[in-house]
Structures are given as C-alpha cells and as structure tokens.
Amino acid sequence: MALLRNDPAPLGTVLLLPGDGIGPEVMGEVRRIMDWFAKRQGISFETDEDLVGGTSFDRHGTPLTDTVMAKAQAADAVLFGAVGGPRYDDLPFEQKPERGLLRLRKELGLFANLRPAKVFDALVDSSSLKPELVRGLDIMILRELTGGIYFGEPRGIETLPDGQRRGINTQVYTTSEIVRVAKVGFELARQRDRRVCSVEKANVMESGVLWREEVQKLRDAEYPDVELMHMYADNCAMQLVRQPKQFDVIVTDNLFGDLLSDCAAMLTGSLGMLPSASLGAPGPDGRRKALYEPVHGSAPDIAGRGQANPIAMLQSFSMMLRYSFDQGAAADLLDQAIGRVLTGGLRTADIMQDGMARVSTSTMGEAIVRELDKAAS
Ligand code: IPM
Ligand code: MG
C-alpha cells in the first residue's frame, strides 16, 4: 500500500502560524502527522513557520508583520493555530492578537469559512445533548468571513458633544459578497444532502432582507436541484440545540456564523473537535487561497500544560489535504485514524468520560500515528 519514497517532491508550500496559548502545542502534533505522511506516503510539503498574534506583538509590536502577510500570500495554504490571551486584553484595537487573524482573512480574500460539525460515534456521550439527538450528526456551517459587521465602515468609538461616548459598527453586505458565498454553499450541498438553510435576521435588518432575496434568486436561477429554506438566526440557534440533524448546509453571515459555529461545536462534544477551512476565490491556476484553523481559541487557562485536544487542529490539516491539495484519500486515512483512537478509549481532558483513559496532547498525537501505521502497513 504505502510506498516508501526517500525524497518525495513537495505538493506545495505551507506556512505554519502556531500563534498563542495552546496553538504551538496543537501545531506540534500537526508536525508529527506531517512527518508521517512525508515518510510513509510520499505526501510532503515545503514548510515555513512564523509568528502571529500575541507572540508576534511581543517580538515586533504588531500581531502580524508585513513580512508574514507576504509569506501567507505566497503560500499554497496557511495552517493557523490560535491567537489571544489575557495579557493582550488591554492593548489598543489595532494591536490585539485577533487583528492578525482578521487581517489574514481579509487580505487573502478568504470569504468562505467551512465549519463542519461531525459527531464521532465514540463521542456521542460527550455532547451536552442527548445521544439520540447527535448520533450521526453531520452538518456544514458555511460562514461568510470577510464582510459584514466584522469589517463594515463606519466603525469606532467617538465622543459626543455632551461627553457621552458612542461605539459604532456597521453591518453591510453587497450582492456580490452574498452571491459568492451562497454559491459555495449550494456547491457544497450538491456533494451532500442537497439542502441549504440560509440564516439572517430579515425581520429586523435590511442587510438580512437583501441576503434572503439574493440567496433565493441564485437558487432559482442556478441551483433548482437544491432545496433552500430561510431561517432567522435566533430560531436557528434554538433549532441547533433542539433538533440539529434537521440541517445539512447552513449558510450565514460573519457574525451569526461565529455564534452558530461555537454552538454547533458543542454538539460534537467539545470545541476541541471542530476544524475549519477558510477559502478564497479560485485564482487563474484554479487554486484558492486557503487558511486552515481549529475553531477553538488559544485557551490560555490550559496553555503549556499538555492538556489541549489536538484533534480540531489535526482535522484542519486533514481539510487542507482535501481542499488545497486534492488528497482526499490521505484525509480519509487521517480522519479514520482519529476515529479509531477515540473508539479505543483515549480522551483528552475536554472530552474525558468515565471508563476512558485520559491522555495528554502528545500522547493523543502519538496514538493517532500508531493507528496510521496500522492502516498503512
Ligand atoms: C473564530 C474566532 C474569531 C472570530 C476571533 C478570534 C477573531 O472567534 O474564528 O470564530 O471572531 O472570527
Ligand atoms: Mg468564534
């Protein structure tokens, strides 16, 4: 099966940005898996590594230097850990670690954020919902990532003549921003159960009215084979915890997608289980700019203790294999190895259950490599 090649030609360039908190720990496990794929499957990448977030601020006074931005522009894919921490809470807005991530998303044009929430059989009891509600759950949240209130102008904090202060953010979407992300949603649905639920608040927001109209128009014109329904975001939050299996693909804006994907993550047992892919428009060579990151944050409370769950980060790597390098078989191999390790009873602290074996970040990574070895031998 596995060919042993000594010097495989790299499939492309990958920039590793481990970031802050548990980012470096979970990225360490990606490196372990990358080594395995290079040695055992001849699937290798040219890699570079750099700073982002608080660690970049500490060294350079900015959460993302222009040099690192240029490296990200040049790479075929970026693997991102996590950013943020209490030490940086009081920094001015532009210097906060999160701005590094937002700049990457914006300048790379990563408008489509895929957040698949899939429940491993072994983890049905880790979810805060009843097992029958989440067993077999497989939904895709598609979040618009470069528009909406995250980037809308005007924004800021101003002082009014009467001395009060006023904070302003703007929710804004254009037709093309809505249509391009909705297209990705319909295309994804065609590879799945052909159902899209578009989520906004058209009952109170004009941008939501536009969102709803444009998504419906696109469906009628180009995707009549896909079933489309519309849902208000508050109702969607409720439905996600009431009957999550009713959904196939959820398409929504930047802010609602942020909230709903955290909610969906818990259905899978832990935030430590949710990967994501952020994709741009295809370039002249057909390739999309792409960044892969776990949905969990930097978890400063457990950073440096070897307790973090590396699975969301490893599944993000698996999404990179699939979406950036067309290595679906390798991605399946990794996903299945993760599933078997969970079935075997190993758990990091966040998904720990009675009768299971609690293990560290690196023990989890080593166990996944052992399963890969078994599958490939
Ligand atoms: C996410 C995170 C980010 C966001 C933060 C870290 C800026 O919560 O990716 O969901 O709000 O988009
Ligand atoms: Mg979030």
pLDDT tens for the chain, 377 residues long, are: 444 545 568 999 999 999 999 999 999 999 999 999 999 999 999 999 999 999 999 999 999 999 999 999 999 999 999 999 999 999 999 999 999 999 999 999 999 999 999 999 999 998 999 999 999 999 999 999 999 999 999 999 999 999 999 999 999 999 999 999 999 999 999 999 999 999 999 999 999 999 999 999 999 999 999 999 999 999 999 999 999 999 999 999 999 999 999 999 889 988 899 999 999 999 888 889 999 999 999 999 999 999 999 999 999 999 999 999 999 999 999 999 999 999 999 999 999 999 999 999 999 999 999 999 999 98
Q: Where are the beta strands (DSSP E) in the chain?
A: 13-19, 46-49, 77-82, 112-118, 138-144, 156-159, 165-168, 195-200, 227-232, 249-252, 275-282, 288-294, 346-347, 357-358
Alpha helices in 244-310 (DSSP H): 254-267
What confidence score (pLDDT) does residue 39 get? Answer: 96
Confirm if 113 and 277 have CB atoms less than 8 A apart. Answer: yes
Residue 83's φ and ψ, nearest 5 degrees, are -135, 155
Q: Which atom of ligand 1 is nearest to 113's Cα?
A: 9
Distance CA(341)–CA(329), nearest Å, equals 19
What confidence score (pLDDT) does residue 7 get? Answer: 59
Residue 161's φ and ψ, nearest 5 degrees, are -55, -30
Which positions ≥6 away from 214 have C-beta within 8 Å?
175, 178, 179, 182
Residue 306 burial (CB count, 10 A): 17
Amino acid letter at 275? P
Alpha-carbon distances of 128 from 62, 155, 187, 242, rounded to whole Å: 39, 37, 31, 12
Predicted structure pTM score: 0.94
What confidence score (pLDDT) does residue 6 get? Answer: 53
Ligand 1 lined by 110 (C-beta under 6 Å): no
Give 64 Cα–ligand 1 centroid separation in angstroms: 16
Ligand 1 lined by 335 (C-beta under 6 Å): no
Sign of CA dihedral 369, 370, 375, 377: positive
What confidence score (pLDDT) does residue 3 get? Answer: 47
Identify residues whose C-beta is under 5 A from ligand 2, the ion.
Answer: 258
What confidence score (pLDDT) does residue 271 get? Answer: 87
Per annotation, catalytic residue among 76, 96, 118, 150: 150
Per annotation, catalytic residue among 234, 301, 326, 373: 234
Per annotation, catalytic residue among 20, 253, 258, 350: 258
Residue 122's φ and ψ, nearest 5 degrees, are -65, -15
Alpha-carbon distances of 244 from 137, 252, 271, rounded to whole Å: 7, 16, 16
**Minimal-distance CA residue to ligand 1 atom 11:** 258
Give 137 Cα–ligand 2 centroid separation in angstroms: 21
